[in-house]
Homo-oligomer: A and B are copies of this chain.
């Protein structure tokens, strides 16, 4: 029988996360204090859990996944299958190119974000904290953290950019059902929010304001920690579970990827699938290329500069060395809202700097993106998130390029999330255009 699904048993779930830091071509440039203002490092240290902070700095290559976290991963449906996209290959007329995809869309809240949310919730509970605080833009991170908090019996407070909060009713419902307190930001819960509302009661908010509110809330509420969903080293460490599973699954499939493709905003799903493979490349155990698929509205890897910059608009983080468009850059809203971030994670940026990671951007009208997603739905049968559709678009384009050149090539795409809560976007782009 022709098997397109490669699954690991729960016993084969990886027992360690992979940390690429010791394998990088040169030491990762450390975070730096900005020249003015209070110490951002101390501030960050104060708002995060101790274990995540330790992992952020760790130079250990393999970090054991605590038994309880492995149980949480299994509860959340891990390991997740790898599929050979034979039906899509057929539709594209591929003879020499093989396509695969990893199914993070099977996540309980709809994206890979749960892979780090569960870990952060676990450590917070272990360290005696009772509340997880965060900001959210598109809403995937807020949902994932609400879920993780509930599973660990913690409170969750989400500051959600008002302009998105107002219309993403279903995602808001999901977070609230999961017991989170979800505030439209700017809110009345913080001094920052109240000041902004006093000036303009209908201020639409921004990610910068939401982060500021979240951090202020954490500062002023004992027992709370601030949780981050992307960019930082420990987040990518937790996401390495994706790539580690995928390596084992390719062994079962008796195949080897020549190219790994993922969408990239800050870099958490891309890093998750790519870093374990990249580590083997750096150790000369494997040959493989890596392609990040981005939006023209946030082309940090293609148009950004590799320099120190803040991770957030509000300048609360230390300076991080990243490919950045500048932390004050305004980016036009797109349907794949999770990709709108001004900079790429330091780990990805370092790999980009050494030409190990390459990048491609797609136009802001997202027309070809939704066409690729619809082709994927109609061939493979799965409705994927707008963000993940960038990975599929780039995967298809690379496949066709290789096929035309007569190259045998194996491409693996990461499907970071499902699209059941994005059908409005499909409707607008595919049925009304």
Find out whether the CB atom of B75 lies under 8 angstroms from the CB atom of A177. no
A150-B378, A169-B427 known; A71-B1 Cβ under 8 A: yes
- The answer to the question of A67 belonging to the interface, with a C-beta cut-off of 8 Å to chain B, is yes
A312 CA to B377 CA, complexed, in Å: 33
**A151 within 8 Å of B (CB atoms):** yes
Q: Is the CB of A176 within 8 A of B431?
A: yes
- Asked if A77 lies at the interface with its beta carbon under 8 angstroms from chain B, I say yes
A201 on interface, CB distance cutoff 8 Å: no
Shortest distance from the beta carbon of A249 to any chain B beta carbon, whole Å = 12
Which of the candidate stretches A4-12, A212-220, A261-269, A286-294 sits at the interface with the other chain? Answer: A4-12
Contact of B74 with A5 in the complex, beta carbons under 8 Å = yes
Q: Which of B74, B106, B383, B431 is in CB contact (< 8 Å) with A3?
A: B74
Q: How far is the CA of A37 from the CA of B96 in the complex (A)?
A: 59
Task: Tell me the A397-422 residues at the B interface (CB within 8 Å).
Answer: 418, 420-421
- B10 engages A74 (CB within 8 Å): no
Q: Which residues of B contact A179 (CB under 8 A)?
A: 378
A423 on interface, CB distance cutoff 8 Å = yes
Selected contact of A75 from candidates B4, B178, B423, B430, CB within 8 Å: B4
Q: Are A1 and B173 in contact (CB under 8 A)?
A: no
Which listed residue, B74, B87, B176, B383, touches A151 by the CB 8 Å rule? Answer: B87
Residues of chain B within 8 A (CB-CB) of A431 are 173, 176-177
Q: Is A247 an interface residue (CB 8 A)?
A: no
* Any B CB within 8 A of the CB of A374: yes
Chain B residues contacting A1 (CB-CB under 8 Å) are: 67, 70-71, 74
Distance from A37 Cβ to chain B, minimum over Cβ atoms (Å)? 40
A386 CB within 8 Å of chain B: no
A424 proximal to B (CB < 8 A): yes
Does A147 reach chain B (CB closer than 8 Å)? Answer: yes
- Compute how far the CA of A264 lies from the CA of B5 in the bound complex, rounded to whole angstroms: 31
Interface positions of A (Cβ within 8 A of B): 1-5, 7, 9-11, 67, 70-71, 74-77, 81, 87, 106, 108, 110, 147, 150-151, 169-170, 173-174, 176-179, 374, 377-378, 380-383, 418, 420-421, 423-424, 426-427, 430-431
The 5 A-B pairs with the shortest beta carbon distances in the complex, nearest first, are: A420-B420, A170-B423, A173-B427, A173-B423, A108-B381
